[in-house]
Amino acid sequence: MKTKSIASLLLTTALTLAAASLAHADDKVVKIGALSDQSGLYADLGGPGSTLAAQMAVEDSGLTGKGWKIDIIAGDHQNKPDIGVNIARQWFDVDKVDVIVDVPNSGVALAVSNIVKEKNGILLNSGAGTSDLTNSQCTPNTIHWTYDTYTLAHGTGSALTKNGGDSWFFLTADYAFGAALERDTTAAVQAAGGKVLGGVKAPLSTADFSSFLLQAQASKAKIIGLANAGADTTNSIKQAAEFGITSGGQKLAALLLFITDVHSLGLNTAQGLNFTETFYWDMNDGTRAFAKRFQERMKNHNMPTMVHAGVYASLSHYFKALEALGGNPHDGAKIVAKMKEIPTDDALFGKGSIQPNGRTIHPAYLFEVKKPSESKGPWDYYKLVSTIPADEAFTPLDKSTCPLLKK
């Protein structure tokens, strides 16, 4: 009996040590899900480029050389909230994903944010624009990097209104992002002394904008605000040129424009467009070094968009928080809280911080697309008009409707 007891005790001890060893190993195992539009109208601004940016962040973190195991998987939400939600559930329940990045399309991002909170994961959003992610629908598990509709509205909207574009008509993508962008830009235009004459909503992935553009043209508004993104933006700009809208004296405001959009349009069509971004590849030595490495590894050799930069920077900051905590990457709310404690500092966005509502604060920039004669080479598309300080580029905390601020 005594021999059996000793044997049993040794077996129990061995199993306990084995379990502890596995638990310790699991403390440094991370899985990242890059959830994006992989083949639709937002594929160039996010898509495969976001997966690459995530991989670059892993490599540059140095964590794999310190015993961490970090894997990345990619998913295509097809710009449909139900598909995005199903992928997110599968990732958390089966694939044991810890953090989801990118998620262009505000409808998908808002839906996925709720799943992330339920599963106590992390959402590092850089693709979706709605400011509601850190306002009325904020959660302790979501951080919104890169830009949002408040930034775009108070950058482009305010500037154009103050420069004489005091009457607006909106052509708006008919989903959460478009609604938020029109709402926020309307507030900015009115605050700057302008007025909104009307607007029209177009379905996502619209091929023919002719009827919508004719309504905008008939409004006689000085500014036609394009509250859309990706291929919808480029198609509406191309068709506006065909209708002679800009040559007739009205100005287009591309409220959300990416460098891949400008590349697709070409400088002859895009020249003179004003827009707001938080990242440009040719800003400084740090952005140029990142962009060169990114472009070399992209199959289509595109330069990185601000969404790709946001994926890289947000994950880089996430890895700093993991190291500071010493492991255990599976308590999302705890890691997000640590991320908020640490000041942000990277080569792509500079120094900043993360507000209690999950909004990352950094400077934004008002750009204008160069004329063909001003461009000095491939991808030399932007000229800087003005810099928007970090404390002015995003919703002030005293105006945020995030429930977390009440605690």
Q: Cα(first)–Cα(last) distance of the chain, in Å?
A: 59
Position 27 scores a pLDDT of 86
Question: Where do the domains of the chain lie, and which CATH numbers do they carry?
Answer: 28-147+283-362 (3.40.50.2300), 150-281+364-393 (3.40.50.2300)
Q: What are the CA-CA distances from residue 379 to residues 55, 248, 337 (Å)?
A: 23, 29, 38
Phi, psi of 325 (to 5 degrees): -85, -15
Q: Roughly what angle, to the nearest 10 degrees, separates helices 47-61 and 285-297? A: 120
pLDDT digits (tens, 9 = 90+) for 1-53: 444 555 454 444 444 444 433 444 458 999 999 999 999 999 999 999 999 99
Predicted TM-score (pTM) of this structure: 0.91
Position 77 scores a pLDDT of 98
Q: Are 258 and 278 within 8 A, CB to CB?
A: no
d(CA 68, CA 26) in angstroms, rounded, equals: 9
Position 18 scores a pLDDT of 41
Give every residue of the chain whose pLDDT is below 70, as ranges: 1-26, 407
pLDDT digits (tens, 9 = 90+) for 142-170: 999 999 999 999 999 999 999 999 999 99
How many CB atoms neighbour CB 136 within 10 A?
13
